[in-house]
Amino acid sequence: MSAISLPRMRRGLIAAAAAAFVAAAALIAVMIPQPANAASLTRISDFGANPSNLEMYLYVPDNVAPEPAMVLGIHWCTGSANDFYNGTEWARLADQYGFIVVYPSVTRSSKCWDVASAASLSGTGSDSLGIKSMMDWTIAEYDVDTDRIFSTGISSGAMMTNVMLGVYPEVFEAGAAFSGVPYTCFRTTNGSEWNSECSQGQINRTPQQWGDEVRATNPGYSGPWPRVQIWHGTDDDVLFYQNFQEQIDQWTNVNGTDQTPELSDTPQANWNRTRYGGTGAQAPVEAISLQGVGHNLMANGMAAKALEFFGLDESVEPTSPTVSPTDPATTPTGGPTGGCSAAIKVVSTWNSGWQANVDVTAGSAAISGWKLTWTWPSGQTISSSWNAGVTSSGTSVTAEDVGWNGSVAAGQTRTSTWGFIGTGTAATPAVTCTPA
């Protein structure tokens, strides 16, 4: 469909919240060992029906499993496949567990997913059909295990995850939605891609009504329904917290359970978890409410819980990849003689801040750690960071590796070694790198 621009204030709020998601999500990566590999994010240009001109990117790890599982990683509003790849831990988890990640990417100006039009909500066109084409292509090309297909997403990507599960229940084993809304909640009839009534939590349906929305799209379907994991912050001011319960109502009803949890616990501070239809890690529905947390809810430990919910948390033995594209991160770059160097690379900006990733390059000898220092030109600060120990004093910044990301082979560059969210005007000052 043709996207209609959101009001400037709302788009700015969503952009800031979505970018903050990237920062928090990537904190999880410090828990995952970083193997040296040749795998890289690869653009697939011809994958089948694509009515809304989406882009497809694919990550196949070096140790891809025989008949691998597949995960959709769906980005947030204003984001992209590259942002989701660089800013979340799913590729690193794929390295460890041997599954394939498909990263769809919106090309319309808003960079938001179509979760509003009749075509997308029915699978007859727009984004849902394009993403399904990406999945079909990957299944055929890599002999994917069709009993282990999953979707996850953040914000608009969480909304799109609910759409994909609602439109194609026969395809998915499970999904994990981080700050989303129920399937069809964002439906509009005026061509707009934004539904304020839904975003503000004003659409309150019964579990039966929500479940009927899914069943009506799949009138002849009699197979198992996807399991769903739902995450939401109580202080979400972009997609209001009321949408948390509405999603629980929808997917418990679809899965044939009531809305009384079989298990309630607190796996860590301010995480209130409930499971419906079972007490185990793969219950039909699992919901995690985060007390005092806003739209930016991605934090350390969440990816491991999503992976456990999917049932993909078992490592595989290394195998040869079906496709071995060249990864710029493992290609000699003609870096400095001896020592190391680093560069700040701005990947997105919005009206109240910006996101940057940092590359580290080793010189003629390998390094086992690094310490970076620089001075901001004027007015910049770091509001949050991931995969580095960062300290600031006035305009001076110091960042050090966190162990797994300290090693860089001679003459090679570790791209997106770590990253941060900045305030003020985006800047890329010269960085001094001291090897450990």
DSSP helix/strand/coil, 32: coil
d(CA 97, CA 115): 31
**Whole-number Cα distances in Å, 140 to 68, 109, 118, 144:** 12, 31, 28, 7
Q: Where are the beta strands (DSSP E) in 194-258?
A: 227-233
Tokens matching residue 53: 């001109």
Radius of gyration of the chain (CA): 21
Element (H, E) at 263: strand 263-265
**Whole-number Cα distances in Å, 317 to 35, 65, 89, 223, 354:** 13, 8, 20, 32, 39
Q: Are 150 and 174 in contact (CB under 8 A)?
A: yes
- Which residues are paired to 371 by β-bridges? 400, 434
Cα torsion at 234, 230, 20, 62 (round to 10°)? Answer: 160
52 as an active site residue: the answer is: no
d(CA 357, CA 336): 20
Backbone angles phi and psi of 399, in degrees to 5: -135, 135
Structure-token match 């418990």, residue found: 252
Element (H, E) at 247: helix 242-254
Q: In what order do the strands lie in the sheet with 70-74?
A: 42-44, 55-59, 100-105, 70-74, 149-154, 174-178, 227-233, 285-290, 271-276, 263-265
Backbone angles phi and psi of 229, in degrees to 5: -110, 130
Output the CA torsion sign for 113, 117, 119, 125: negative
Backbone angles phi and psi of 91, in degrees to 5: -65, -40
- Which residue among the candidates 40, 117, 155, 416 is catalytic per the annotation? 155
b/e for 363-398, b at 16 or more Cβ within 10 A?
A: beeebebbbbebebeeebebebbbbbebeeeeeebb
Residues labelled as active-site residues: 155
